[in-house]
């Protein structure tokens, strides 16, 4: 039941609108008169972007890929902004109340910074923004008063669970992980897995990069770093438990022995709607949870030997500085190489570990430090990919 209705529609800018999160966000927006889309962006899928803009009545879009930028004006009457600068222009000039950043990878950092720097609230699906630049990004939000509202399902769950708790009462945050398609396998059994097997996630349908991150468990590693920054919680108070059904989206342990959990069928429209409408809640066509029908929910510890990526991410998070940025860049290069059929599944973690060995973290003085570390890490990871290919 809706409690209040906004007088004026909230103006939303959706970055990465042609992706998995972006498309679901447009579904959420289409169900509400309180939300109005004022701009959209994509990397290269200009035809899909033009169709979305037409359907949503949007007159300004941004594209990143040079070839797409050339071709798009033929399909779109409105203004097409180009490249990273065009994306920033879209953010600054759109008059948005809220920017949903659903770009994949470290390319999302600049748009997050532009949004928060302008004092605009950020609905953040792009976890890489916080992995790469968490300290600076959260400082920027603090300085301008803009809010960061998580879209990642675990962090949305934690945001909701922590809303009513006084500081000092929370002992631990526990992120749940589905375990991905290779849960229960040994390391030897992972040597020859195919791209199609790795892309076959048991509970969530997502973009390619995050699906591979889920198969290696790097996704959970990135999420631990994301939670550290979002909630200001040290790493020894962040745990992970494998929960194959993806019904419990995370839980918090409190000082009096209580634990509070967030449950629901896996559907990203729930955390997306929570972020877009926050602090209100709206109705969604999502099935009510039937625990009797489910019968049992199971939990198990992470097999960190078979899935070393989680440990690599934790270690990089604890080191701080540029280490998480290096980890993320190496992961992006390695996942791209795996999806291109150039390296095997186990080589993904090897490339990341090798890059971190060769490029130990240093202090972050400014965003430029991060862009340099990202570039250096990509160069080293590319060499390691060639060696592993
Ligand atoms: P996706 O690959 O399906 O979509 C990515 C979008 O970003 C596309 O619109 C693409 O055009 C755009 N894009 C890609 N590279 C770009 C670049 N260099 N510059 C500008 N735009 C670019 O990805 P997704 O699965 O929707 O994930 C998006 C983000 O949300 C990721 O950070 C992911 O980790 C996070 N996330 C996704 C899910 C999910 O269910 N898909 C869940 C939680 C978190
Ligand atoms: Mg998640």
pLDDT in the model for residue 1: 40
Counting residues of the chain whose pLDDT is more than 90, the rounded percentage is 94
Ligand nearest the Cα atom of residue 86 = 1
**Pocket residues for ligand 1 (CB within 6 Å)?**
16-22, 42-43, 45, 64, 102-105, 107, 125-128, 152, 204, 206-207, 209-210, 268
CA of 164 to the centre of ligand 1 (A): 31
Taking the C-alpha atoms of residue 109 and residue 106, their distance in angstroms, rounded to an integer, is 5
Buried-state track 292-323, b at ≥16 Cβ within 10 A, e below 16 = eeeeeeeeeebbeebbbbbbbbbbbbebbbbb
pLDDT tens, position by position, 198-248: 999 999 899 999 999 999 999 999 999 999 999 999 999 999 999 999 999
Take residue 174 and report the two structure tokens written for it. 């526990």
CA of 206 to the centre of ligand 1 (A): 9
CA of 93 to the centre of ligand 2 (A): 31
Ligand nearest the Cα atom of residue 178 = 2
Mean pLDDT of 49-64: 96
Question: What DSSP string runs through 308-341?
Answer: THHHHHHHHHHH-TTHHHHHHHHHHHHHHHHHTT
pLDDT in the model for residue 75: 84
pLDDT tens, position by position, 155-202: 999 999 999 898 899 999 999 999 999 999 999 999 999 999 999 999
pLDDT tens, position by position, 65-103: 999 999 998 888 899 999 999 999 999 999 999 999 999
pLDDT tens, position by position, 123-161: 999 999 999 999 999 999 999 999 999 999 999 999 999
pLDDT in the model for residue 7: 61
CA of 151 to the centre of ligand 2 (A): 8
Counting residues of the chain whose pLDDT is more than 70, the rounded percentage is 98
Owner of token pair 């965003």? 367
Looking at per-residue pLDDT, the higher value among 75 and 22 belongs to 22
Mutation pick for ligand 1 pocket among 207, 221, 225, 250 (CB with most ligand atoms within 8 Å) = 207
Take residue 313 and report the two structure tokens written for it. 């991410």
Contact at 8 Å (CB) between 58 and 18?
no
Cα–Cα nearest to 229, from 138, 151, 326, 124: 138
pLDDT in the model for residue 2: 43
CA of 127 to the centre of ligand 2 (A): 9
Burial (Cβ within 10 Å: 0-12, 13-18, ≥19) of residue 65:
middle
Q: Closest Cα to atom 27, ligand 1: which residue? A: 104
Mutation pick for ligand 1 pocket among 13, 14, 20 (CB with most ligand atoms within 8 Å) = 20
Ligand nearest the Cα atom of residue 246 = 2
CA of 357 to the centre of ligand 1 (A): 28
Specify the pairing of strand 121-124 against strand 98-101: parallel
pLDDT in the model for residue 34: 96
284-to-1, 43, 228, 290 alpha-carbon distances in Å: 10, 29, 30, 16
CA of 372 to the centre of ligand 1 (A): 23
Ligand nearest the Cα atom of residue 240 = 2
CA of 232 to the centre of ligand 1 (A): 25
Mean pLDDT of 9-16: 98
Taking the C-alpha atoms of residue 353 and residue 251, their distance in angstroms, rounded to an integer, is 30
| Chain mean pLDDT for the chain | 96
Cα–Cα nearest to 69, from 85, 57, 56: 85
Take residue 97 and report the two structure tokens written for it. 């109340």
Which ligand 1 atom is nearest residue 21's CA? 26
Beta-bridged to residue 240, according to DSSP, are 175
Mutation pick for ligand 1 pocket among 13, 15, 18, 21 (CB with most ligand atoms within 8 Å) = 21
Q: Closest Cα to atom 19, ligand 1: which residue? A: 43
Ligand nearest the Cα atom of residue 25 = 1
Q: Closest Cα to atom 31, ligand 1: which residue? A: 104
User: Residue 360: pLDDT band by 50, 70, 90 thresholds?
Assistant: confident
User: Residue 5: pLDDT band by 50, 70, 90 thresholds?
Assistant: very low
366-to-322, 372, 373 alpha-carbon distances in Å: 11, 10, 11
Q: Closest Cα to atom 4, ligand 1: which residue? A: 19
Peptide bond into 243 cis (omega under 30): no
């Amino acid at each position: 039941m809706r409690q209040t209705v906004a007088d004026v529609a909230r103006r939303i800018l959706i970055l990465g609108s042609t992706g998995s999160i972006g498309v679901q966000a447009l579904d959420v927006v289409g169900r509400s008169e309180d939300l109005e889309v004022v701009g959209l962006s994509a990397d290269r899928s200009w035809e899909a972007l033009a169709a979305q803009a037409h359907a949503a009545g949007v007159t300004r879009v941004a594209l990143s890929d040079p070839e797409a930028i050339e071709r798009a004006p033929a399909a779109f009457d409105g203004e097409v902004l180009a490249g990273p600068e065009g994306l920033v222009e879209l953010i600054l000039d759109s008059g948005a109340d809220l920017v949903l950043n659903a770009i994949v990878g470290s390319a999302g950092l600049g748009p997050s910074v532009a949004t928060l720097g302008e004092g605009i609230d950020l609905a953040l699906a792009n976890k890489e923004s916080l992995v790469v630049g968490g300290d600076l990004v959260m400082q920027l939000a603090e300085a301008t008063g803009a809010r960061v509202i998580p879209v990642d399902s675990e962090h949305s769950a934690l945001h909701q669970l922590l809303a009513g708790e006084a500081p000092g009462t929370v002992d631990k945050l526990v992120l749940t992980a589905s375990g991905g398609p290779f849960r229960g396998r040994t390391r030897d059994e992972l040597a020859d897995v195919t791209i199609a097997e790795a892309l076959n996630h048991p509970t969530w349908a997502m973009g390619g990069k995050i699906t591979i991150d889920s198969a290696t468990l790097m996704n959970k590693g990135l999420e631990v770093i994301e939670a550290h920054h979002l909630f200001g919680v040290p790493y020894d108070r962040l745990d992970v438990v494998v929960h194959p059904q993806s019904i419990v989206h995370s839980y918090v342990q409190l000082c009096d022995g209580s634990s509070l959990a967030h449950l629901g069928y896996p559907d990203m429209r729930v955390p997306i709607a929570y972020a877009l409408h926050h602090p209100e809640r709206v109705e969604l066509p999502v099935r009510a949870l039937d625990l009797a029908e489910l019968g049992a929910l199971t939990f198990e510890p992470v097999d960190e030997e078979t899935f070393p990526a989680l440990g690599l991410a934790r270690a990089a998070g604890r080191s701080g500085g540029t280490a998480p940025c290096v980890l993320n860049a190496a992961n992006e290069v390695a996942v791209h190489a795996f999806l291109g059929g150039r390296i095997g599944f186990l080589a993904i973690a090897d490339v990341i570990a090798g890059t971190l060995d060769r490029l130990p973290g240093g202090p972050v003085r400014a965003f430029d430090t991060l862009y340099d570390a990202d570039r250096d890490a990509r160069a080293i990871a590319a060499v390691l990919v060639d060696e592993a290919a």
